[in-house]
Structures are given as C-alpha cells and as structure tokens.
Amino acid sequence: MKLAIGSDHGGFRLKGEVIEHLKAKGIGFKDYGTFSEASCDYPDVATEVAEAVAQGEYDLGILICGTGIGIGIAANKVPGVRAALCHDTFSAHACREHNNANILTMGERIIGTGLALEIVDTFLNSNFEGDRHLRRINKIADIENKYKK
C-alpha cells in the first residue's frame, strides 16, 4: 500500500505523528508538505494530494488541517475524490465500507494523537463492500459528470 499525505500548518504536528506511525508499520507514503509551521493555504496541498490519488498514483490519501474541514472540502472538488472527515473509528471504517472514501481527513485541533492513529489504522484496514454501495458511488460520479465543463 502506498499513501499520499499532506497538511497545512494547522495539521503539521499531527501529520508528523502520522508519518512516524506509518514508518513504524512499514507503510509507504509520499509527504506533500507542508514542511513547517509557517502559515499556508490548505487548498494548495489538498489539490496536490487529491490529484495524485484521483490519478491512481496512490492507494489512499490522508489530509490534515486544523479541523479537517477546509482541506476536505477542497479535496472533494477534484473529480474521483471521496474525502471523508473522521474523528471516530466508526466513521473511519464506514467511510471505506460504504462510501469507498479514498482520502481520510482529520483536524489536529479536534482530536488527540492516540485517537488519530487508531482512525488511520481503521481507515487503512477497511475495504469497500460494493454491492448497493457501488450504485450510490456511481451516482456521485454522475453528479461530477453533470457539472464537468
């Protein structure tokens, strides 16, 4: 499994914790930044990670900002991306099983590191269940296609 990971300054510290966790587990990843606590704009890193995931360069992505909200809204503008904000483990497996979420978003200002790492593990170890959920995912793609220029 290979992951794309990114954050803005609001998620920089938690991104570092997640990266150490991935390294300890031997999970491959590319860090798209940000690389310091200097203020930056979350749509920039969201776009880079979302495009790479949508193009199939990575199996899944992880994006972190202060709340997980802005970076997820931005990522979801990229066709093919289904970014899910998760601050509990139920959401972390349900978004994979039902929504085939391909990017996990979290907020460093919302949750602690211990829970965040459990959410990461749950997200990475859960799989899409297909069946009726595939029909619904396809309807999301239909919405994207409807608004494509």
By annotation, the residues acting in catalysis are: 65, 98
Sign of CA dihedral 118, 62, 58, 22: negative
Q: Which of residues 31-50 bind ligand RB5 (CB under 6 A)?
A: 42
Q: Which of residues 7-26 bind ligand RB5 (CB under 6 A)?
A: 8, 10
Residue from 34, 67, 76, 122 in contact with ligand RB5 (CB under 6 A)? 67
Burial state string for 89-113 with b = 16 or more CB within 10 A and e = fewer than 16: eebbbbbbebbbbbbbbbbbeebee
Q: Is the peptide bond before 67 cis (omega within 30 degrees of 0)?
A: no
Select the span of 17-25, 64-72, 86-94, 134-142 touching ligand RB5 (CB under 6 A). 64-72
Minimum distance from CB of 120 to ligand RB5 (Å)? 18
Q: Tokens standing for 39?
A: 């203020």
Minimum distance from CB of 145 to ligand RB5 (Å)? 27
Backbone angles phi, psi at 38, to 5 degrees: -65, 140
Which of 67, 91 has the CB closer to ligand RB5?
67
The yes or no reply on residue 69 touching ligand RB5 (CB under 6 A) is yes
Q: Which residue shows structure tokens 């802005």? A: 70
Residues that bind ligand RB5 (CB under 6 A): 8, 10, 42, 65-67, 69-70
